[in-house]
Amino acid sequence: MPFKAEYIWVDGTKPTAKLRSKTKIVEDGAELPIWGFDGSSTNQAPGDKSDCVLRPVFSCPDPIRGGDNVLVMCEVELISGAPHPTNTRRACAEAAEKFADQEAIFGIEQEYTFFKDGRPYGFPVGGGYPAPQGGYYCGVGADEVFGRDVVEKHMDLCLQAGLHLSGINAEVMPGQWEFQIGPVAAPQVADELWVARWLLYRIAEDYGVSATLDPKPVKGDWNGAGAHTNFSTNAMRDNYDAIITACDSLGKDGKVAEHIAGYGAGIEHRLTGMHETAPWSEYSYGVSNRGASVRIPWQVERDGKGYIEDRRPNANCDPYVVTRLLINTCCSALAKA
């Protein structure tokens, strides 16, 4: 019996790309074929040369349709077979292969915010603001937590899809949540994060809410939304000197600006030096310091080995870009150490 394959890809919308998807019916037993789409409708091609190619790179069970149906993450290619200019996965995969001997792995903490009827879910109907931040983070109770039914369903779907979901929690602002993917190597960690994002958007449809990755969904004294990225190599998992080498490498001349430029649009609105962030224009690291650009967990200092948390990536970042930058910067420095 034929099965349904939901082909998912990252489009060319700027400054922040969107997810697109469509369904292909595939004969039972057949391999997932390359497919095509109209790039002129996704900001990826002009109308007179509109054909773009979808190449399957990651698939998992479709937990919404069930059965033998699958979700398929794709790279976008030109008809020549070359990666499309919007295809950031290819460069990520090449970086991971170049430094494969360092066995880099990632855990990405994806924050997001639910909106309903044009306002953050949990904000008062008709305008105004809820009580200030304080009780919402990891909270419980209908007066402090909003959207848990959607979050629980999303968690179940990710697990049924076989994604490396490692946890969820309510975040600091009403209607704001987080899920974590990892630890997984690149580019798979980014493949899984994009699929998890797609599942979040898709299941939220059924509940009449939308999920946004806006890094500063509400202006003023409210936390933004990030994608804190935990990173380690085999050397970092073995000794503390490698932890410091990695942290120092991220602060080298040119690297701070390069990473900030690749960590998501609107980052200056979130990385202000307030709300558990470091200023976007400065670089710092410290043990147990959530006000630093990069945090070294206290257990890592105690154990003398482990991982670091880059707290700068936005919720709307491209995880292919973030993981590539961390691999290139940190692994290059560690290779010379």
Per-residue pLDDT of the chain (337 residues; tens, 9 = 90+): 999 999 999 999 999 999 999 999 999 989 999 999 999 999 999 989 999 999 999 999 999 999 999 999 999 999 999 999 999 999 999 999 999 999 999 999 999 999 999 999 999 988 888 888 888 999 999 999 999 999 999 999 999 999 999 999 999 999 999 999 999 999 999 999 999 999 999 999 999 999 999 999 999 889 999 999 999 999 999 999 999 999 999 999 899 999 999 999 999 999 998 888 999 999 999 999 999 999 999 999 999 999 999 999 999 999 999 999 999 999 999 999 8
Neighbours of 97 (CB within 10 A): 11
Residue 291, CB-side half-sphere exposure with 13 Å CA sphere: 3
Q: How far apart are CA 198 and CA 74, in angstroms?
A: 13
Q: How far apart are CA 289 and CA 296, in angstroms?
A: 7
CB 28 within 8 A of CB 69: no
Q: Which residues pair with 35 in a beta bridge?
A: 54
Q: How far apart are CA 237 and CA 235, in angstroms?
A: 5
Distance from the Cα of residue 278 to its chain's centroid: 20
Evaluate the omega torsion of the peptide bond into residue 187 and state whether it is cis, within 30 degrees of 0: yes
What one-character DSSP code corresponds to residue 121? B
Phi then psi for residue 326, to 5 deg, are -65, -40
What pLDDT is attached to residue 134?
Answer: 85
Rounded to a whole number of angstroms, the distance between the first and last alpha carbons of the chain is 56
CB 308 within 8 A of CB 243: yes
Phi then psi for residue 20, to 5 deg, are -130, 155
Phi then psi for residue 259, to 5 deg, are -70, -45
Q: Which residues pair with 61 in a beta bridge?
A: 70
- Residue whose structure tokens are 């010379």: 336
What pLDDT is attached to residue 133?
Answer: 87
Mapping DSSP to helix (H, G, I), strand (E, B) and coil, where does residue 235 land? coil
What pLDDT is attached to residue 165?
Answer: 98
- Residue whose structure tokens are 């290779």: 335
Q: How far apart are CA 324 and CA 93, in angstroms?
A: 8
What pLDDT is attached to residue 255?
Answer: 97
What pLDDT is attached to residue 62?
Answer: 98
> Which secondary structure element, helix H or strand E, spans residue 151, and what is its range?
helix 148-160
What pLDDT is attached to residue 253?
Answer: 87
Neighbours of 284 (CB within 10 A): 14
Residue type, 294: V
What pLDDT is attached to residue 337?
Answer: 84
